[in-house]
Chains A and B, each alone.
Chain A
Amino acid sequence: MPTVKADLHACQGYANCVVGATDYFDLDDDGIVVLLKTKVPEPERSRVTEAARSCPVSALVVED
Chain B
Amino acid sequence: MSDDPQEGAPEGLSEHAVPQADEALLEDLRDVVHRLDPVPEEALLAARSTLAYLRLDAQLAQLTFDSLTDAPLVGVRSQTEVGRRLGFTADDNEVEVQVVAEGSQRRLIGQCVPADEVELTVTHQGPAHAGPSDASRTETVTDDLGRFVVEVAQGVISLRCRWPSTGRVVETAWVRL
- Decide whether A and B are members of one complex: no
Residues of A within 8 A of B (CB): none
